[in-house]
Structure 1
Amino acid sequence: MRKINILTIDDDFINLKLLEAMLKSHESVGEIIKATNGLDGLNIIDQRDDIDLVLLDIVMPVMNGLEFLDNLKARKNAFSKPVIVITTDEAVKREAFNKGANDFLTKPILKKVLLEKIDKLIVDFE
């Protein structure tokens, strides 16, 4: 089975480390790439074609998650991999889906729920 590479985008260092720890426990996760805002995330996606999944925080400086989704959709080489939005704000959920998000996680993130969502998406990679 092929391992998937996951881009995590969050301005909070502790959240990035927590996500990394949770993801490392999943046998199908390969590389975990970290970005601290949406603009950094877009730059990574532009430089790499091996990103299989994005975990995206909404509230960030420089470029927030909703702006990231807008910019992602507007790109010529449209990124077609799943994006899971992570936030404390339930009201953002509909807007994120309208902008192309595939799924939603509410903070605080439960490891079991995160890994279940990844399992559901991994079927597409096999």
Structure 2
Amino acid sequence: MAKILIVDDSDMIKKIVVGTLARGGHQVVEASNGLEALERISSTHCDLVITDLNMPKMDGIQFTRELRKMPSYKRMPIFILTTNPAEEEKALAAGANLYLKKPVSSEKLLSSIDKYLK
């Protein structure tokens, strides 16, 4: 079981992803934007992050860049989950490990997590 931070400004998307992660046996920490996610992650260790790309206050690209500056999170897997396929190169250059297009199937999400956490 991994502790996974899900960062998305959509409550509906968070609910779907949290349900998938819980069914996969994972513990979930939630945030609604990058700034809130940085606060959450500074007080609790996570094994993997799944973040949306377009969010208020701090988007997924900037959040990924900021997270990669933190010594304990330089190598932690970061997935960007978004509806915007045009930003894949930018997300990967910022430090994301995987770029997944919404909607992503539960099977694809869980198998990707397993692959990166082994």
TM bin, normalised by shorter chain, reads over 0.9
After superposition, residues 38-117 of structure 1 pair within 5 angstroms as 38-49=34-45, 51-75=46-70, 77-79=71-73, 80-117=75-112
Per the normalisation by structure 1, the TM-score is 0.87
Q: Separation in 1 of the partners of 2:72 and 2:109?
A: 25
Unpaired runs of 5+ residues, structure 1, are: none
Alignment-derived partner of residue 12 in structure 1? 10
Amino acid at match of 1:104: Y
Larger Rg: 1
Amino acid at match of 2:17: L
**Which deviations, in whole Å up to 9, do the C-alpha atoms of 1:36-55 show, x marking residues without a partner?**
00001111111122x00000
Unpaired runs of 5+ residues, structure 2, are: none
**Which deviations, in whole Å up to 9, do the C-alpha atoms of 1:24-46 show, x marking residues without a partner?**
1113x1x2000000001111111
List, as ranges, runs of 4+ consecutive aligned residues in structure 1 with deviation greater than 6 Å: none
Root-mean-square deviation (Å): 1.1
What is the SS of the residue equivalent to 1:101? coil
What is the SS of the residue equivalent to 1:8? strand
Larger helix fraction of residues: 2
Q: Percent identity?
A: 32
